[in-house]
A and B are shown apart, each in its own frame.
Chain A
Amino acid sequence: MAIGQHHELHRRRRSRNVGVALVLIGFVALIFALSVVKVQQGDLMEGFDHQTRTSVLPIEQPEPQPATEVEQ
């Protein structure tokens, strides 16, 4: 049997490969669509970005400024 000849087995393998490819592409498209909608809706989503998470830091109250006397 010459190499490259097609066999029933190749058809089955191709069907698996194409199937997995389509599933992965579909999954990527789905995550993208989901992300767009979530961002548009203003959902609270925060990725880890090697920085201090500002949303978990205590709210800093501005220091009360001493009243300055108005110079005469």
Chain B
Amino acid sequence: MATTQIDAPAPEAEFGDFVALLKPRVMSLVVFTAFVGLWVAPVPVHPVIAFCSVLFIALGGGASGALNMWYDADIDSVMRRTASRPIPAGLVKPGDALGLGLALSGVSVMMLGLAANWVAAGLLAFTIFFYAVVYTIWLKRSTPQNIVIGGAAGALPPMIGWACATGGISIESLLMFALIFFWTPPHFWALALFMKDDYRDAGVPMLTVTHGRTSTRRHIFAYTLVLAPFAIWLGFTSVGGPLYLAVALVLNALFIHGGWRILRRSDTTAAADGYAVEKRYFRLSLYYTFLHFLALLIQHGLGGW
């Protein structure tokens, strides 16, 4: 008996697939750092306005995530870590992701301008532009310094939060920017060390692919040394205090020590123990930013110097 095979319809997206386009895990970091930037600023903000501001900053971050997934769908489908994202999985059409990204960019910037002020909205617009156009479209595929430059977009949220409260930029917000900016490269390069094949297959010029893994280890250590003074300097500003300074000293000592251990290892040793040191360093790097910003928040509650 002949059987008739009717083509299964293309899988249809559910609401969660569109939420996944906004990169919720990246968003959680954006929410946290933007909130800390806003809350530790010397100008008190009404809780409703603070909530709205952080929400629209997160939405702007989500918009740039959707634009990134739209443009990078070809890379994402090759890499194991990203192959299940909504576009490579065939759940969301690329055009829909582009539309969502553009619409949310407009809404988030306009609403942040109305809720807080236009300096903050301008910074948010710059962040989205920087991440979607400068990083994703232009530099990610053309230079091994892509991570360094892309880090600027991730480092802006606390500055936007600060601008929501104060309407401007100051040394404290610039140092919060520096804290994330110089933290990003060692964080991602540690990831690249133990996720080695993925980036090569996708043709992304990761430092591990272009300059080799020994050079990447040197870069990681160098960045921990550059990062430490900025993290500690923040402790001597108006948002710092004894608690923050103590936390920063401990975390940076650990981070430099971790970077040193990565530098001293050869790739053969690392492969032998399954990149244990690199993986531990990567986990430490996650705690590093979280604890710095948490310390700022608690320090603000306790009062500064």
| B55 adjacent to A30 (CB under 8 Å) | yes
Q: A18 at the A/B interface (Cβ < 8 Å)?
A: yes
A15 close to B16 (CB less than 8 A)? yes
Which DSSP category, helix, strand, loop or mixed, fits chain A's interface?
helix
A18 and B12 alpha carbons, distance in the complex (Å): 15
Report the separation of the CA atoms of residues A41 and B114 in the bound assembly, to the nearest whole angstrom: 14
> When each residue 101-115 of chain B gets 1 if its CB lies under 8 Å from chain A and 0 otherwise, what string results?
000000000000011
Closest residue on chain A to residue B52 by CB atoms: A34
Task: Judge whether A41 and B46 touch: CB under 8 Å.
Answer: yes
Q: Which residue of A is nearest B107, CB measured?
A: A27
On whether A15 and B15 interact (CB within 8 A), knowing A33-B48, A34-B48, A34-B52, the answer reads yes
Smallest Cβ-Cβ distance to A7: which chain B residue? B9
The interface residues of chain A lying within 8 Å CB-to-CB of B26 are none
**Interface contact B12-A13, CB-CB below 8 Å:** yes
CB neighbours (8 Å) of A67 from chain B are none
Q: How far is the CA of A7 from the CA of B223 in the complex (A)?
A: 54
Band of interface residues on B: 10 to 19
| Contact A37 to B49, CB < 8 A, known contacts A9-B9, A30-B55 | yes
State whether the Cβ of A53 lies closer than 8 Å to any Cβ in chain B.
no
Which B residue sits closest to A11, measured CB to CB?
B14
CB–CB B12/A12 < 8 A: yes
Known: A30-B55, A34-B115. A16 touches B49 (CB 8 A): no
- Scan residues 10-64 of chain B and give those whose CB is less than 8 A from a CB of chain A: 12-16, 18-19, 46, 48-49, 52, 55
Partner of B13, one of A11, A16, A41: A16
Contacting residues, chain B, for A42 (C-beta < 8 A): none
**Once the chains are docked, how many angstroms separate the CA of A33 from the CA of B12?**
35
Chain A residues with Cβ under 8 A from B52's Cβ? 30, 33-34
Q: How far is the CB of A33 from chain B (nearest CB, A)?
A: 5
Chain B residues closer than 8 Å to A20, beta-carbon distance: 15
Q: Are A19 and B15 interface neighbours, CB within 8 A? A: yes
The residue in B13, B14, B49, B114 that gathers the most chain A C-beta atoms within 10 A of its C-beta is: B14
From A9, A18, A30, contact of B15 by CB (8 A): A18
Most buried by A among B15, B19, B46, B55: B15
CA distance A37 to B18 in the complex (A): 31
- Cβ-closest chain A residue relative to B19: A19
Residue of B nearest to A40 (CB): B46
User: What is the CB-to-nearest-CB distance from A47 to chain B, in angstroms, rounded to a whole number?
Assistant: 12
Nearest 5 CB-CB pairings of A with B: A19-B15, A15-B14, A12-B14, A15-B15, A37-B48
Given A19-B18, A20-B15, output 20 extra A-B contacts at Cβ < 8 Å: A9-B12, A11-B14, A12-B12, A12-B13, A12-B14, A13-B12, A15-B15, A15-B16, A16-B13, A16-B14, A16-B18, A18-B15, A19-B19, A30-B52, A33-B48, A33-B52, A34-B48, A34-B115, A37-B46, A41-B46
A–B complex contacts, Cβ < 8 Å, 19 sampled: A9-B12, A12-B13, A12-B14, A13-B12, A16-B13, A16-B14, A19-B14, A19-B18, A19-B19, A20-B15, A30-B55, A33-B48, A33-B52, A34-B48, A34-B52, A34-B115, A37-B46, A37-B48, A41-B46
